Amino acid sequence: MRVFEAKNRLGGRAHSFRERETGATIDNCQHVLLGCCDAARGFLDKIGSAERIAFYDQMTLIGAKGESLTIKSSMLPAPLHLLPAILRTRYFTAGEKLELGRVFARIAQTPPENTLSARDYLREIKCPQRLIDLLIDPILASALNETASDASAEYARMVVSKSLMEGRHGYKLGVPDGPLSQLIEVPALRYLSRRGCMVHTSAKIEKLHFRGDMVTSALLSDGKRIRPDYYVCAVPPWSLDEMGFATYAARRLRWRPIVCVHLFYDDPCVDFERSCVVGEPFGWVFNKTSDFGLNFGYIQAVASAAESLNGLDNNDIIELAERAVAKAIPHPHKPALKRAVIYNASRATFSTGDTSDGLRPSTVTPIQNLFLAGDWTDTRWPATIEGAAISGIKAANAILRR
């Protein structure tokens, strides 16, 4: 088996790089998994890096006035396991807690019609707007990179059910204990090399050549041709299009941005770990200081569904990131910011909006020896590491069957 990667590093949209001024190896953006991401966990287990991701049994949401909700499992079985945490909190009023119980029961019992958007679905099951603002949207933004106003009903229901209702561990946030390169790139390369697989970087596939219903060769950027028995294209739809295999998805899937601001402080002493900051454009802040073994402070602020940042200048973006950090740090000790790096991924994830299903191609194509993989293929998962892992398993199984 041979792998050809256009960039000079592996990792794709989940990669690390060396930051110019601080010299630290950092990620393009914090990547997290949920406890319900079974395929991704299986993948990490297989390549030997599963222990590099810690699943935290507490997740904290901070509201507009500083009120907080700590989601934590009790001894009760699912779907009641989070009930004590919800009952205890002042984040919701008593009336909202009752409504939440009713809304969750409706979500469990009532699948949406295929064409409905999440907003219409939530309206149909009479979910109050406050619950959408306080809980549903922060969860959807984290998992789907879009809020109820844009997400598809099917995906929104799946995310809420899988993370909060189906199992006792689904809500747990899995955070890597260091750079993504140590979680994915290095162990994957080791795993592949030990099995005799050759990995070529800076090796773009320019074109696929077809005869009838077969690919006969692939042209590399250095002019060489390869002629394997089977081809798995695990590239984004626009790259596949350029290679000569057009999909409906390349033209029709909408993609959404994520903006990550890496904030470096002169002092490492920020005593919080991670929080979801509700109502802020930068909805998550992660303290990465100890994970990266740095002697200065390092926080990442992540803005999902980040269209609202389009057109802002860098100083405004950094200010918004710092505003989210200020809400997350419990004590008013604010170290001085010494450097900020903005990473803007304009095509971070595809939109699950009500047009995306049916657009996602399946692994098997009409070309006998060509198979597709990648988070945007038809996995029934949103654009995530979980979706990418499922797509890889599907492609491998399809080749074995053939």
Ligand X SMILES: Cc1cc2nc3c(=O)[nH]c(=O)nc-3n(C[C@H](O)[C@H](O)[C@H](O)COP(=O)(O)OP(=O)(O)OC[C@H]3O[C@@H](n4cnc5c(N)ncnc54)[C@H](O)[C@@H]3O)c2cc1C
Nearer to ligand X, 79 or 356 (CB): 356
Nearer to ligand X, 100 or 359 (CB): 359
CB of 374 to ligand X, least distance (A): 4
- Where do contacts with ligand X occur on this chain (CB under 6 A)? 4-7, 12-14, 28-29, 31-33, 204-205, 234-236, 239, 243, 258, 260, 345, 348-349, 374-375, 383-388
Nearer to ligand X, 63 or 392 (CB): 392
Per DSSP, the three-state class of 142 is: helix
What is the rounded CA–CA span in Å between residue 249 and residue 359?
5
* Tokens standing for residue 54: 């810690």
Question: On the CB side of 400, how many CA atoms lie within 13 Å of its CA?
Answer: 6
CB of 393 to ligand X, least distance (A): 13
Non-local CB neighbours of 347 within 8 Å, separated by 6+ positions: 236, 255, 256, 257
CB of 40 to ligand X, least distance (A): 7
Query: Nearest-CB residue to ligand X?
Result: 12
CB of 32 to ligand X, least distance (A): 4
Nearer to ligand X, 49 or 384 (CB): 384
Taking Cα atoms as reference points, which of 279, 287, 326 lies closest to residue 303?
Answer: 279
C-alpha separations of 254 from 25, 260, 388 in Å: 31, 20, 18
Nearer to ligand X, 115 or 362 (CB): 362
Non-local CB neighbours of 88 within 8 Å, separated by 6+ positions: none
Nearer to ligand X, 78 or 220 (CB): 220
CB of 379 to ligand X, least distance (A): 10
CB of 6 to ligand X, least distance (A): 4
Phi, psi of 232 (to 5 degrees): -115, 115
